Amino acid sequence: MAISAGGSGDDAPMSDINTTPLVDVMLVLLIIFLITIPAIVQTVKVKLPDVRYMPTETKPENVSLSITKDAGGNCLVFWGETRVTHEELLKRSTDKLKEIVDKAGGADKLTTDDLPEAHIRGDVDTPYRCIGGAIYTMQSAGFAKVGFISQPPAPDAAS
């Protein structure tokens, strides 16, 4: 034990903790972490496909949804050209899938290629919650393939 160097004259033990070694260890650990973390964080380089003009195969059983918003920011979903609510969208999509399964004679006779697809046309200014809600509803109904229809960029006037 350390002996107090105070002027009291009695040999009482010193009750203060020496924090200098603790601070030294913490600073060394901080420097080690600052050096090793950038080496640990790695990214995988991926070259994404450059598909701009992939033609859409349109089948008569596919569902075409258009999604936009009104002036108040409310989501507007259109099945073809008919406006539908969330509940109507879920009911129509499940009914459509049941009709196709019944027409085929059972779900075991269908493949994913035989099932209809949902094609979503989303307005640029539409909030993600509107489009995400429609995607979730279609997937909840059983649609395995939900895709987006986009407008290709205008051809450059110089070319």
The pLDDT tens digits for 94-110 are 999 999 888 888 888 88
- H or E stretch covering 54: none
Q: What is the pLDDT of residues 110-140, one digit of tens each?
A: 887 788 889 888 888 888 899 999 999 999 9
DSSP assignment letter at 23: H
Contact yes or no for 150/124 (Cβ under 8 A): no
Residue ranges covered by each domain of the chain: 63-148
Higher pLDDT, 59 or 141: 141
How large is the average pLDDT for residues 6-32? 82
* Residue showing tokens 């008919």: 82
Please give the pLDDT value at position 26. Answer: 94
Please give the pLDDT value at position 94. Answer: 94
State the alpha helices, DSSP H only, in the chain: 20-40, 86-104, 128-141
Please give the pLDDT value at position 157. Answer: 47
Please give the pLDDT value at position 1. Answer: 47
Please give the pLDDT value at position 153. Answer: 61
Cα separation, 101 vs 1, in Å, equals 85
Please give the pLDDT value at position 114. Answer: 80
Cα separation, 135 vs 66, in Å, equals 12
Q: What is the CATH number of domain 63-148?
A: 3.30.420.270
Q: What is the pLDDT of residues 34-78, one digit of tens each?
A: 888 776 666 656 565 555 656 666 777 889 899 998 888 899 999
